[in-house]
Chain A
Amino acid sequence: MSVAHRIAEQFETREQQREADSLGTWVFLATELMFFGPLFLAYFYGRTHYGEGFAVASGRTHVWLGTANTALLLTSSLTMALAVRASWIGRRGVTLLLALTAALGVAFLAVKGIEYRKEWDEALVPPFRFVFAGEHARAVEVFYWLYFLITGLHALHLTIGIGLVLWLALRARRGDFGPHYHAPVEMTGLYWHFVDVLWIFLYPLIYLLERWR
C-alpha cells in the first residue's frame, strides 16, 4: 500500500475520511454558487425589467448550437459519473472514460468558440463590436454583456475541469485509483457535474426566450 492508500491520521475510518472529502467539496461548490449567483440575479433583474428587449436579444442567439452543446455536456456528465463508478469498484476503463469526458468538454468549448465567432461577425459583442438598431438596443446590449460574462466564466470553469480530468486520466493510466483510493476522481466528478448544472440553467435563459415568435 502506498502512502495515498492509507487513511489520514486524523480520521478513524475510510468512511469518515470520505465524508470529510465530500463535505469540503460541497462547501466549495456552495461558494461557487455564491460566485455565479449575483450574475443570475443580474439576469433576473434584466429579464423582469426589460423583458421585451431580452426576448429580442435571445432570438439572435444560435439555438441549435446551444442545444447541441447542452447534449454534449449532459453526455460528459454521464461519462464522468461512469468513471467515478468504475474507480469505486476497481474496474478498468477509468482512463478511457475520463479521456472521453475531457474530449466532450473540449467539443463543448469548440462549439462555444464557433458561436462567439458568429456573434463577432454579427456585431453582437459589447463593448468591442456592437451594432444593433431598434428600440431595444440598450436592453439587447445588456443581455449580451451578461451573456459573454456568464458563458465566459462558465467556459473558464470548464477549462479548469478539463485540465483536472486529463490529469486524473494520466494518474488512472498509472493505476493510481481503485476501491481503496478514488477521492480525487469522485471530488473532481462533483465539480464537473456542478459546472454541468450551471449550464442546465443557462441554456433556457440564454437561448429559449420566446422562440415561438
Chain B
Amino acid sequence: MNPAPVRTYVLVWAALIALLALTAASAFVNLGAFNSVANLAIAAAKALLVAAFFMHLRRHASALVRVFAGAALFMLALLFALSGADYATRHIAPAAWSSPPSPTP
C-alpha cells in the first residue's frame, strides 16, 4: 500500500472547510431558487471529495468497488425518480369529510 502524502489529506480537509464556509455564507444571500441549487451542489462536491480521497475510491479501489458505490447511488436515484414522479403528478384533493365530526356531549 502506497498512500498519498499527509499534505493531500490536509488539503482535502481545507477544501471541505472552505466549501462549508461558502455554503453557509451563500445561504444568507438571497439567490432565489439558486440558493437550494448552490447548497446541494456544494454538498455533492464535499461528498465527492470525501469519497474520492478519504474513502480511497480514487486511487486504492478496484473498478468493481467503484461500480458497487455507484450502484448504491443509482438505487437511491431510482427511489427518488419513481416515487417522486408519483408525488409530483398527483393532485392532492382534500376530502369533503376531512375534519372529523366532534362528538356530541
Distance (whole angstroms) from the CB of B74 to the closest CB of chain A: 10
- Bits for A175-213, please: 1 = Cβ < 8 Å to B, else 0: 000010000000001100110110011011101111110
Chain B residues, CB < 8 A from A78: 9-10, 12-13, 54
Are A74 and B20 touching (Cβ within 8 A)?
yes
Are B72 and A82 touching (Cβ within 8 A)?
no
Interface of B (DSSP majority class): helix
Q: Does A131 contact B (CB under 8 A)?
A: no
Total interface residues on A, CB under 8 Å, equals: 49
Are A197 and B50 touching (Cβ within 8 A)?
yes
Which one of A19-27, A113-121, A139-147, A166-174 contacts B?
A: A19-27
Within 1-54 of B, Cβ neighbours of A (below 8 Å) are at 1, 3-4, 6, 9-10, 12-13, 16-17, 20, 23-24, 27-30, 35-36, 39-40, 42-43, 46-47, 50-51, 53-54
Q: Does B76 contact A (CB under 8 A)?
A: yes
Q: Does A13 contact B (CB under 8 A)?
A: no
A residues with CB within 8 A of B: 19, 22-23, 26-27, 29-30, 33-34, 37-38, 40-41, 44-45, 48-49, 63, 67, 70-71, 74-75, 77-78, 80-82, 85, 88-89, 179, 189-190, 193-194, 196-197, 200-201, 203-205, 207-212
Are B35 and A210 touching (Cβ within 8 A)?
yes
Chain A residues, CB < 8 A from B61: 22
Distance (whole angstroms) from the CB of A97 to the closest CB of chain B: 11
Chain A residues, CB < 8 A from B71: 30
Q: Given A204-B23, A212-B30, does the pair A190, B84 have CB atoms closer than 8 Å?
A: no
What separation, in Å, do the CA atoms of A201 and B50 have in the docked complex?
Answer: 12
What separation, in Å, do the CA atoms of A63 and B28 have in the docked complex?
Answer: 11
